[in-house]
Structure 1
Amino acid sequence: AFDQELQECRKQLAACESRAAEAQVAMDQIPDTEQVSEAAVKDLETRRQTLSGDIEEGRRRLEERDHVLRNDVAQLKKLEAGFARQAELEQASADVSMLARTLAGTQSGMQRISLEAWVQMMYLDQVLEAANRRFLQLSRGQYRLVRSEGQKKGAGKTGLDLAVEARFSGEVRPVQTLSGGESFEASLCLAMGLSDRVAAANPGISIDTLFIDEGFGSLDEESLGKAMQVLSELAQYRCVAVISHVAGLKTAIDRQIQVKKNQGTSHVRLQV
């Protein structure tokens, strides 16, 4: 629009200059011998002055419009540079946002695993590896614990659920399908596996004591013997304390803290 107005100003200036030139030619063509009336001379002079004023006004407007146009061109270049920078920042922001959503496990079209959950999954695999060495022994080679890879519905974290693999059939099923005794064995092995991994990852930390509260009552005689065998091996290099009401453990464990409850009081008896 400014460019069009500038062109129009130039046309008007050219027209004024053309009329001024014509008036000057008309004055120059008046013969010296010809008698010209004073009124005619004044009229020509007035027209000349008017045209000169129009020319100056046209030049002034032309300069103003030219200045405005140059200023707008400079501002346009700044805006174009700003828009280019904005586009770069928007692209960078989109990349960072996608990375943030990926790390948070909220990116659409991808598995909902956050960076925190991914790290936990890595450590859980290590715990399961250590736990399965004992769980295979307790289950007589039947079962091993695995991490469930299924997509979880709702807001829960994916990849941190446990499942059990039946090695003879290859079937993978939820850990909730384990019997009471098998669940106790799995829990015991997980606790010891976690203890092993913590000690391995942190050489300065030593977990020397393991307390096991109940659960032995759900084991059959053979499973109880297997569990005691594992605990006996474990007791060679750390302290293992078992809290239980199972009578069979009284003969299997030499060192005992026996608590007998009487009416209103309890008595403690140490057997070493």
Structure 2
Amino acid sequence: MTTDEHAERFTLLRPLLFTIVYEMLGSATESDDVLQDSYLRWAEVDLATVRDTRSYLARLVTRQTLNTLRANARRREDYVGPWLPEPLLLDEHDPSADVVLAESVSMAMLVLLETLTPDERAVFVLREVFGFDYDEIAAAVGKSVPTVHQVAHRAREHVQARRRRFQPVDAAKTAQVTEQFMTAAATGDLAGLLCVLTPNVTWTADSGGKATAARRPVVGAHKVAAVLMDLFRTRRQLPGMRIRMANCNNAPAMVAHIGDHPEGVLLIEIVDGMITNFYAIRNPDKLVAMTVPRQISR
């Protein structure tokens, strides 16, 4: 077997492997590191011993990802303010037609997955999103099949008890609400802004202590509207700042730049035609990957 065949098989499955790792880690940059390390290990494998490349590589990247998750546990405990996943800039391919994939990379789901243990998260992602068999998952996480059944059941119950009803994205409605929001916020139209916010809308900002941001979530339409009005007022005072719209985690997002450097990302979560959550990522370490659109797959 040649090195070219190793590379060809890995490249073919890379969007799938990246999506698996990202959903377990919530970090695009760390996912790239895991895939790089996994490829080096894969390049040493005798392909004649590989019966199912997809299953083998999923097992390989899962093991590497679990090591990273466990190493990150202490760092998450010491994190300043709310911790949010890295925003995932998607390419022109829209995953919304695949409802399972769209939900699995949504910011709301990734935040919820943070409440699982590393093993629960790995088992849930591999089973519920990617449909791997229990014996394949058992090999990936290093546990018996009966134990994996128990972990899967526990993780599934935990997620179902805490997640909201998920609906396929209505692209036209999402665009309309986003435009209404942008117009109201940019012009200082408080009444117009309140019209698109749910009463219990939540603003969560992640700065890691490295940028100015609220250290606790802000809840309630009037309070969040005040945050937004202040944000757009500040933006008008920074003539070098430009904002573009993007698709992050299958949601509309505002990406603020000064020069070539992203300064922040604001993801807008829309449910039933109303904005329910804002996720503001200000930590510069989490904006590094925003220059590279990603392909996701399952």
The TM-score range, normalised by the shorter chain, is under 0.3
Give the TM-score, by structure 2 length: 0.22
Which has the higher relative contact order, 1 or 2, with Cα contacts under 8 A spaced 6 or more apart? 2
With normalisation by structure 1, the TM-score equals: 0.23
Could you say which structure has the higher helix fraction? 1
